[in-house]
Amino acid sequence: MTKAKAAANKKENLTKTSVKKYHNYIGGEWVKSSSGEWFDNINPANTNDIIGRFPRSNQEDVDNAVAAAKAAATKWRRTPAPKRAEILFRLAQILEKNKENFTRDMTREMGKVLKEAGGDVQEAIDCTYYTAGEGRRLHGFTTPAEMPNKFAMCVRQPVGICGLITPFNFPMAIPSWKLIPALVCGNTVVIKSGEDVPLSTINLVKACEEAGIPKGVINVVNGFSEPGEALVKHKDVRLISFTGSTDTGRIIAEQCARDNKIVSLEMGGKNAIIVMDDADIDNAVEGSLWGAFGTSGQRCTASSRLVVHKKVYKKFCEKLVERTKKLKVGDGLDPKTEVGPVINEQAMEKILNYIEIGKSEDKATLACGGNRLTKGEFKNGYFIEPTVFTNVKRNHRIAQEEIFGPVTVVIQFETLDEAIDIVNDVKYGLSSAIYTQDVNKSFYAMEELYTGICYVNSATIGAEVHLPFGGTKGTGNGHREAGTQVLDIFSEWKSLYIDYSGKLQKAQIDEVEI
């Protein structure tokens, strides 16, 4: 070992020992993992920057967390929903107060630029205000009964203990999409946070603690697949809400089916923007740019296919490539940065591998980007140049598979029906978009595009919290998060029949005699 290297190691060890330790949150206490093990939360823009050390949790930690959630369940369920909501409104205010700090923490652990991280925290705030309002609604309905002097209605009841498994790409927004509706419906939860972004979940949960959410109602276990698996298999967990890869989602769904658990899945996407020949091209280029490269392409909603009319294809590609080359890649903490790093080494390797696949696909042209950045300010991070492939065919692997990185492909078409067919011809169905000035074409596309979300004259990203979020086919399993639709995940219906006739009635009557 060289002297310089030894000194560097020593320095690293010194920084390691002074790194802040964070804990699991179980039954209202901040506790270590019973494994006694830890893992480092590393800044993907600079791997020398260790943000904190987090417990590497195991089955026993999950058992403890579920037991705490169980112990707190009855009291929380019996707390009137408007009272639960009052605490959640307080939570929204606390999140607002801490927005700047939470934003910086998020950029540091996840890499996305400050503006986007701020948007992520804001999405959690919006979700909290919006969903807390449900505490005074949680509507059921009344309906006539078949018998005289009988009343019929239905109400929502909590499902019980919910296991929430969250991803890295929206470190505060996605946990809030699951947590807030679960709580307003009267459930208690155990969160298994994304292992690359544990601090944002801790920040969210500390805010919940400050808002006065009772002990045991929310529990957090940090770590990798072991706690996730234990949560999915735990017999006292009634529901799993998962956002992540389609492969993991399928395994979770299979396990949940075996145990009769409710399961809600939000998984991959291969979203497309159609650009018609009558579109405002500058607007379409700008939308495509941010749809493709915002969050370094690490959104389920990313615009990873651009399906462009033959007549404007050349012009569109030229403008897109010109704009892409000018994007400023760098550390998200620098306000001038437009595209940050990708989340970790494994993700980077996967993306670079897809770039190689793209290069080897028949006639596909690497129009710009395609490399890892390794020099100067990039040397300690996971940076990939924003990459555009042109002349891509609809069946190429880079046009079919989710890459989840700063890579987009341009495909040419001649008729709107062909474009719609291309967009629908993938295994996912999250988001789609069309740029056109023609109202007839836009309505036709809105009807024919088989996705959960569809945009006109705007990219495939930017869903708002009060509309249902989710997708068709391989993207999900029929549920929707956000909006009021999310209440259907976190509550079960109970139908109530009240006989006020005061008379003796045959219990099992089929024919009604008046």
Query: Could you tell me how many residues of this chain bind ligand UN1 (CB under 6 A)?
Result: 10
Strands, E assignment, 166-279: 188-192, 218-221, 239-243, 262-266, 271-275
Q: How many CB atoms lie within 10 A of CB 313?
A: 20
Q: Can you tell me whether residue 305 is helix, strand or coil?
A: strand
Q: Shortest gap between Cβ of 243 and ligand UN1 (angstroms)?
A: 6
385 included as an active-site residue:
no
Distance CA 300, CA 220 (A): 24
Q: Shortest gap between Cβ of 170 and ligand UN1 (angstroms)?
A: 5
Applying CB under 6 A, among 45, 162, 253, 463 the residue interacting with ligand UN1 is 463
Examine residue 218 and tell whether it contacts ligand UN1 (CB under 6 A).
Answer: no
Examine residue 170 and tell whether it contacts ligand UN1 (CB under 6 A).
Answer: yes
Examine residue 461 and tell whether it contacts ligand UN1 (CB under 6 A).
Answer: yes
Applying CB under 6 A, among 462, 468, 488, 492 the residue interacting with ligand UN1 is 462
Examine residue 441 and tell whether it contacts ligand UN1 (CB under 6 A).
Answer: no
Phi first, then psi, for residue 204 (nearest 5°) are -65, -45
3-state helix, strand, coil in the chain (%, to 5): 40, 25, 35
CA 234 to chain centre: 23
Distance set, CA 350 to CA 356, 405, 477 (Å)? 10, 9, 26
DSSP at 194: -
Applying CB under 6 A, among 57, 264, 301, 484 the residue interacting with ligand UN1 is 301
Which residues are CB-neighbours of 435 under 8 A, at least 6 positions away?
273, 274, 275, 276, 279, 280, 283, 284, 287, 456, 457
* Piece of 11-19, 142-150, 403-411, 456-464 that binds ligand UN1 (CB under 6 A): 456-464
Examine residue 300 and tell whether it contacts ligand UN1 (CB under 6 A).
Answer: yes
Specify the length of the chain in residues. 514
Residues 94/210, Cβ–Cβ less than 8 Å: yes
Count Cβ atoms within 10 A of the Cβ of residue 414 and give its class: 0-12 exposed, 13-18 middle, 19 or more buried. Answer: exposed
Residue nearest to ligand UN1 (CB): 463
Q: Shortest gap between Cβ of 370 and ligand UN1 (angstroms)?
A: 24
Examine residue 299 and tell whether it contacts ligand UN1 (CB under 6 A).
Answer: yes
Distance set, CA 497 to CA 77, 139, 462 (Å)? 22, 17, 43
Beta bridge partners of 263: 240
- Of 240 and 416, the one with the shorter C-beta distance to ligand UN1 is 240
266 included as an active-site residue:
yes
Distance CA 472, CA 479 (A): 9
Q: Shortest gap between Cβ of 378 and ligand UN1 (angstroms)?
A: 25
* Piece of 93-101, 189-197, 416-424, 455-463 that binds ligand UN1 (CB under 6 A): 455-463
Residues 420/445, Cβ–Cβ less than 8 Å: yes
Which one of the listed residues 123, 134, 266, 361 is annotated catalytic? 266
- Of 88 and 302, the one with the shorter C-beta distance to ligand UN1 is 302
Q: Shortest gap between Cβ of 397 and ligand UN1 (angstroms)?
A: 21
Which one of the listed residues 127, 185, 208, 300 is annotated catalytic? 300
Binding-residue pattern over the window 254 to 293 for ligand UN1, x denoting contact by CB under 6 A: ----------------------------------------
Beta bridge partners of 158: 491
Examine residue 138 and tell whether it contacts ligand UN1 (CB under 6 A).
Answer: no
Examine residue 169 and tell whether it contacts ligand UN1 (CB under 6 A).
Answer: yes
* Piece of 294-302, 390-398, 414-422, 470-478 that binds ligand UN1 (CB under 6 A): 294-302
Examine residue 51 and tell whether it contacts ligand UN1 (CB under 6 A).
Answer: no
- Of 34 and 122, the one with the shorter C-beta distance to ligand UN1 is 122
Per CB under 6 A, residues contacting ligand UN1 are 123, 169-170, 243, 299-301, 461-463
Active site residues: 266, 300
